Amino acid sequence: MNYIQIDNEVCSYNELIEYINACEKVVTNPINLRGISFLANLLKSLISDKEIEILHPISPAGYKKKFNTPYKEQIHFTDNLFISSISELTESLKKCQGEIILYTTGSTGTPKKIKHKFPEFLHDVIISEDKIRDKWLTLYSKFHIAGLKVLFQAIMNNNTIVYDEKPTKNSIQEKINQHQINAISATPTHFTNYISDKNPINSISRISLGGERSDKKQIELLRIKFPKARIRNIYATTESGALFSSDDTFFSIDKIDGNKIKIIDNEIYIKTSLLGKVEGNIKSEWYATGDSVKFINDINFEIIGRTKRTVNVGGYLVNLDEIQNILRKFHLIVDCYVYTEKNSVVGELICADIILRDKTKLSQFKSKIRKEMPPYQIPMKINTVDILSLNSNGKKHKIE
Amino acid sequence: MNKIEFINECLNELRSDKELPKIISFNNDLNLRYDLGLDSFDLALLTSKIEDEYDIDIFKNGLIETYGEIIQQL
């Protein structure tokens, strides 16, 4: 029997339907709901054609500070909806007029509201016979678009799905064994942080990567660790969901629909009509994603990073994601996160949190980068760490 | 460690990263760029380390050129 495990609560699909049917009312801006209550509330809101706001874990005080208005729970009584089976639930989701509101922080930290209509939100969910036996493990937050997308992928195919929102070095293996997982959805850094050895796990047949750029080193690690897995590297945005994918670090322009996605001046643009409703009303036909690319030949390109991660260091314009990519190519490095701090001499001082293969080789690493990188790209402040700090979306950020 | 020892250690660390020899004895007239071999990025890191330790931005009031000027700021 398939089930959903979320916030360490477990329920079967039949139990989930009982929960949904028992909900006489829904909270359309929940901040206190967790586990199966969160899930039942989400699904009941959607099939009742309500608009539900997904807020990251936030306290009422945090809400007031962020949105400049006191938090007030919005409760709606639902019509006498009765779902008799999982297939009726999935059919209802395909036909409902509910909406999900998400918030992106992007690189600026200021939250932007994005509203996605159902059933369009399900556009990148693949429902097929060969997905029926999938059992998913996701390391994404249930509040993040990637965590929601894999949830609906699982629900629409009646799959088991297990959330591990606070993974550790052992928890991935433990959960794979405990739940007979065959599919994993996570960011590349999740894998770098939490895969502690190269002993292969042959039971994994599917890996969905997303949320940030992945590089050759990470893909190779995954191929060694999960030799039977089909790796799907997905490019997606909170505004649009998944747009294109590949099984490598690069993507091919000839596999992209030019009517929907363009690359202009090495930045990815999306046709505005593909987006959820974005706060601020985008007036132009094409929406600038802020993601910059580099072509490796006429057809294939890699995502470099965020255009907003370009800073002026001593008069030189540098992209911090590009520096990160360069550092990760050094054999001595397992992974790193590059950021800046304000500096009165050069404007911005490049800093890096790095995981070294061998902590005793820091001097050797510093010597190597000085020889091989131009001075304005070299991180001057280097912290060696055992694990990179991840935000709630599973993306690297500065250790506070 | 007192402030002078801290500064001396920082300067020698910066030099060591550039594979320059350790300086045993500093004097106030030593020029940071020409005598100690430091460039803008080294000075940027130096100011950051001093600020982290003593909450003083030695370059706040303008360019510092000599060892003596650093000591004076502290």
Alpha-carbon span A91 to A78, nearest angstrom: 18
| Cα A185 from chain centre | 9
Single-letter code of the amino acid located at A385: V
Which chain A residues are Cβ-neighbours of B39 within 8 angstroms?
Answer: 375
Q: What is the DSSP string of A260-302?
A: TEEEETTEEEEEGGGS-EETT---SSEEEEEEEEEESSSSEEE
Residue A291 burial (10 A CB sphere; 0-12, 13-18, 19+): buried
Phi then psi for A91, rounded to 5 degrees?
-65, -40
Alpha-carbon span B55 to A76, nearest angstrom: 53
User: A108-130 in b/e burial notation, b at 16+ Cβ within 10 A?
Assistant: eeebeebebebeebbeebeeeee
Cβ of B48 under 8 Å from any chain A Cβ?
Answer: yes
* pLDDT score for A37: 94
Between CA A233 and CA A238, with CA A235 as vertex, the angle to 5 degrees is 135
pLDDT digit string (tens) for B19-70? 899 999 999 999 999 999 998 889 989 999 999 899 888 887 777 889 999 9
Q: Give the pLDDT of chain A (400 residues) as one tens digit per residue.
A: 899 999 989 999 999 999 999 988 999 999 889 999 999 999 999 999 999 999 876 677 877 877 888 988 899 988 778 899 999 999 999 999 999 998 876 544 556 788 999 898 998 898 988 888 899 999 998 988 899 999 999 999 999 999 998 888 788 899 999 999 999 999 888 888 787 677 899 999 999 998 888 888 889 889 999 999 999 999 988 888 888 999 999 999 988 888 889 999 889 999 988 887 777 666 688 988 888 899 999 999 999 888 888 888 877 888 898 899 899 989 999 999 999 998 888 888 999 999 999 989 998 999 899 888 888 899 999 999 998 888 777 788 876 6
Beta-carbon separation of A381 and B48 below 8 A = yes
* pLDDT score for A105: 60
Cβ of A314 under 8 Å from any chain B Cβ?
Answer: yes
**How far from A327 is each of A180, A191, A248, A302, A333, CA to CA, in Å?**
36, 18, 20, 16, 7
Alpha-carbon span A280 to A287, nearest angstrom: 12
Which tokens go with A359?
A: 């902590």
Which chain B residues are Cβ-neighbours of A314 within 8 angstroms?
Answer: 40-41, 44
| Percent of all residues in chain B with a pLDDT value above 90, rounded to a whole number | 57
Instruction: Give how far A350 is from chain B: nearest CA, Å.
Output: 9
* pLDDT score for A107: 46
Q: In terms of CA atoms, which chain A residue is nearest residue B44?
A: A345
| Cα A321 from chain centre | 17
ipTM tops 0.95: no
* pLDDT score for A400: 62
Which residue has 């006429």 as its token pair?
A: A298
Which chain A residues are Cβ-neighbours of B60 within 8 angstroms?
Answer: 344
Cβ–Cβ under 8 Å, residues A4 and A161: yes
User: Any residues with CB less than 8 A from the CB of A120 and at least 6 apart, and which?
Assistant: none
Phi then psi for A25, rounded to 5 degrees?
-140, 160
Cβ of A374 under 8 Å from any chain B Cβ?
Answer: no
Alpha-carbon span A213 to B26, nearest angstrom: 47
Which tokens go with B28?
A: 């106030």
The β-bridge relationship of strands A316-319 and A310-313 is antiparallel
Alpha-carbon span A42 to A177, nearest angstrom: 29
Other beta carbons within 10 angstroms of residue A300's beta carbon come to 17
Beta-carbon separation of B60 and A344 below 8 A = yes
Alpha-carbon span A72 to A94, nearest angstrom: 30
Beta-carbon separation of A375 and B39 below 8 A = yes
pTM: 0.79
Which chain A residues are Cβ-neighbours of B55 within 8 angstroms?
Answer: none
Judge whether residue B72 has pLDDT over 70: yes
Beta-carbon separation of B40 and A366 below 8 A = no
